């Protein structure tokens, strides 16, 4: 038998790694959605050991040898395999930067901290979780310093690279500073115009969770979700997990307000459609993974914000919602629901924020997490800094930590460097949706019929099926003809909130 090439050996090794990561993804979903609280310690041990096994497989000295041999023969590989090799090298560099004891310690610390957060958030008790968060922050900073040396990047950019490959905090800060400068004027203009229009009327509840879930399932199917390959459950913080062939979505419902719950479901469905559409022939290989979190967030925000808050889609939603909840009257008409879904009202909670004020929440978190990682801000100072910066950006300050620094899971779960991808994703979503509609002008009208087939087909071809074959920028250029252009996002906001009837 011919000895397999170094590249073939790498594919075999990464397939095993991919299977381990799939198992961890399902275990993590279960811990957030189904696991009884008494199982937390055992689950933490399971995840720690699986993380250690994955780290050992990737940092095996043989992998470094295979990478060198495969890279020396890269000209013999096709485009997909060369891209796979590039992503293997990137994963190996990240992994070998960290000793095994740090990988295990991080997994244990983040699992414990996340569990405490789930108790501290509803109790509005930041002090309860702060020591555990400090441990996560210290370990994350240690990991960032090691990755900084390995990647030749700044401390924060080394952490950012885990979620946004080759992302630059300097470039992000430049874009965000411009947004922060322009946002008050735009927000003021939108609020002024909104004040001259009839206030939306909220349909009267209660809206039973079971009924909301039934409507959510109907909308997910309309968008294109296949329940043979996934499920919808509830959790403290909505997220999408699982694996491409078994996508696990979670949301949270409010029986007094069905609006936010439904849009949260549609947001997560966008993530799920991306996972389902990743190239099947490259399952469990790095090139078959999603291309960074700004692209991932673009897919959720494209479905939720660009498509499902459009007047066309709301026209499809209105009679469904009315019949599902047994409502009647003008508050159930499409025009009123459209005003509800495009209502701009600065609020404390990021996941419930309107499209215009949402970027301020991300700018806030980007600035705070960068300061925390770089040692310019302490956790003792975090609640005060949060209130001060939100006041400057949106003119409001959270009345308590539950609606301030306790509201998001990300830092407690160890995801430092993740937050900028949300607004980068919103900008990318606007650009992709505009390009899809330019190519297929019939898309808005189809959304009004609950038909996402043309839009989803375009996204499959230009984004989902490409996996990590291209960089984020190259993917966007190939799909839209230009790199990320923030003016397209701003034009979308002005058109929807200042020009549309």
- The catalytic residues are 268
CB under 8 Å to 282, separation ≥6 — which residues?
Answer: 80, 84, 288, 467
**DSSP sequence for 334-347:** HHHHHHHHT-----
Rounded Cα gap, residues 274 and 240, in angstroms: 11
Residue 168: DSSP 8-state: -
467 SS3 class: coil
Q: Where are any strands of DSSP class E within 417-479? A: none
Give me the phi and psi of 78, to 5 degrees please. Answer: -80, 180
Helices (H), ranges, 97-208? 100-123, 126-151, 155-160, 169-195
Please state whether beta strands 246-251 and 230-234 pair in parallel, antiparallel, or not at all (unpaired).
parallel
Residue 118 has a CB neighbour count (10 Å cut-off) of: 19
Residue 146 has a CB neighbour count (10 Å cut-off) of: 17
Across-strand partners of 234? Answer: 251
Residue 257: DSSP 8-state: B
Between the alpha carbon of residue 348 and those of residues 236, 314, 341, 395, 400, the distances in Å are 17, 25, 17, 11, 10
Across-strand partners of 250? Answer: 233
Give me the phi and psi of 250, to 5 degrees please. Answer: -135, 155
To the nearest 10°, the Cα dihedral for 265, 306, 273, 284? -120
Rounded Cα gap, residues 494 and 152, in angstroms: 40
Across-strand partners of 162? Answer: none
374 SS3 class: coil
Rounded Cα gap, residues 474 and 481, in angstroms: 9
Rounded Cα gap, residues 230 and 273, in angstroms: 10
**DSSP sequence for 84-103:** HHHHHHHHHHHHHTS-HHHH
Rounded Cα gap, residues 243 and 24, in angstroms: 10
Separation of first and last alpha carbons in the chain: 71
Rounded Cα gap, residues 312 and 431, in angstroms: 19
């Amino acid at each position: 038998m011919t000895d397999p090439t170094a590249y073939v050996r790498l594919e075999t090794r990464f397939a095993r790694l991919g299977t381990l990561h799939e198992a961890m993804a399902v275990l993590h979903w279960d811990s957030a959605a189904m696991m009884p609280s008494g199982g937390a310690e055992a689950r933490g041990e399971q995840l720690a050991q699986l993380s250690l096994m994955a780290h050992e497989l990737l940092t095996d000295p043989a992998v470094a040898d295979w990478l060198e041999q495969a890279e020396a023969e890269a000209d013999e590989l096709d485009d997909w395999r060369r891209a796979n090799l590039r992503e293997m090298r990137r994963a190996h560099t990240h992994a070998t930067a960290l000793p095994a004891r740090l990988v295990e310690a991080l997994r244990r610390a983040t699992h414990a901290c996340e569990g405490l957060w789930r108790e501290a958030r509803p109790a509005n008790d930041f002090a309860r979780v702060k020591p555990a968060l400090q441990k996560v922050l210290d370990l994350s900073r240690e990991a960032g310093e090691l990755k900084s040396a390995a990647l030749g990047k700044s401390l924060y950019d080394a952490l950012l690279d885990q979620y946004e490959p080759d992302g630059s905090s300097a470039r992000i800060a430049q874009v965000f500073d411009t947004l922060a400068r322009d946002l008050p004027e735009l927000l003021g203009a939108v609020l002024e115009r909104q004040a001259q229009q009839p206030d939306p009327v909220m349909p009267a509840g209660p809206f039973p969770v079971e009924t909301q879930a039934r409507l959510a399932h109907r909308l997910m199917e309309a968008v294109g979700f296949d329940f043979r390959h996934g499920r919808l459950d509830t959790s403290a913080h909505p997220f999408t997990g699982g694996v491409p062939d078994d996508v696990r979505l979670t949301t949270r419902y409010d029986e007094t307000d069905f609006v936010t719950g439904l849009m949260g479901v549609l947001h997560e469905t966008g993530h799920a459609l991306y996972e389902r559409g990743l190239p099947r022939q490259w399952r469990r290989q790095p090139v078959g993974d999603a291309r960074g979190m700004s692209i991932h967030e673009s897919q959720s925000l494209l479905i939720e914000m660009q498509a499902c808050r459009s007047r066309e889609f709301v026209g499809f939603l209105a009679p469904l919602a009315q019949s599902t909840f047994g409502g009647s009257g003008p508050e159930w008409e499409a025009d009123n629901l459209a005003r509800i879904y495009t209502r701009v009202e600065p609020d404390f909670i990021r996941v419930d924020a309107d499209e215009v004020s949402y970027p301020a929440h991300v700018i806030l978190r980007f600035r705070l997490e960068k300061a925390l990682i770089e040692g310019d801000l302490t956790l003792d100072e975090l609640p005060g800094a949060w209130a001060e910066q939100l006041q400057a950006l949106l003119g409001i300050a959270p009345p308590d930590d539950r609606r301030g620094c306790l509201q998001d899971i990300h830092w407690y779960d160890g995801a430092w460097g993740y937050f900028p991808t949300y607004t980068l994703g919103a900008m990318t979503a606007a650009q992709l949706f505009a390009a899809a509609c330019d190519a297929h002008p019939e898309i808005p009208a189809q959304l009004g019929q609950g038909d996402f087939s043309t839009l989803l087909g375009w996204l499959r071809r230009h984004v989902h099926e490409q996996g990590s074959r291209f960089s984020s920028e190259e993917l966007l250029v190939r799909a839209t003809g230009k790199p990320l252009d923030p003016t397209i996002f701003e034009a979308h906001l002005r058109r929807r909130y200042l020009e549309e009837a």
